[in-house]
Amino acid sequence: MRSIKIFIGLLFLVLSIYGQQTEKEALKKLSFLIGDWKGISTSYGKDGTSKVPVQENVHYIMDGDLIVLNVKSEWIQLHTIISYNVKDKNYYYYPFSKKGNKQGYKSEIVDGKFMVYFNESARLTFTKTAKGEFHEFGERLVDGNWEKYFEDILELQKK
């Protein structure tokens, strides 16, 4: 009986370690986001476009099990945690602002782009440009077409 308990304990430990490695491996696929970035945020509205400087700091935390993304501009201050759930094989995007936090939004990698879905008609896309810039944009579904409501293009800051 004692041998069975030890075996079950070791099996649980191995499965736990495997799960952590899988989370880390999944989050490594988002390594293109990591860094200290600065650039311009553009807002698209009915009255035209507006632009402000923005910075985003994106780093792994908790030994690579989570990613933290901090955004700061005149328009927004946002602290976001990105995680990966091994059981349901989904990424989750948890944004926090001064108003509080929102639910975790299911996310996925599609064609090398990190896609966050707020609902069926609003999404965020994170990618890199051909020049290596951090490119983030939000879109809304309007009359069957995806329209950008904001776009950030940022350059990596050298230390």
Q: String of b and e for 44-68 (b: at least 16 CB within 10 Å)? A: beeeeeeeeebbbebebeeeebbbe
The tokens of 12 are what? 């649980």
The answer to whether residue 21 scores a pLDDT higher than 80 is no
Provide the whole-model pTM: 0.82
For residue 158, give the amino acid letter.
Answer: K
> How far from chain centre, in Å, is Cα 20?
18
* pLDDT tens string 94-113: 999 888 777 889 999 999 99
When pLDDT is averaged across residues 149-154 and rounded to a whole number, the result is 96
Q: Which domains does the chain have, with CATH numbers?
A: 2-156 (2.40.128.20)
- Please, which pLDDT band fits residue 79 given cuts at 50, 70 and 90? very high
- Sequence-ordered list of residues with C-beta below 8 angstroms from that of 139, at least 6 positions apart, any chain: 122, 123, 124, 125, 146, 147, 148, 149
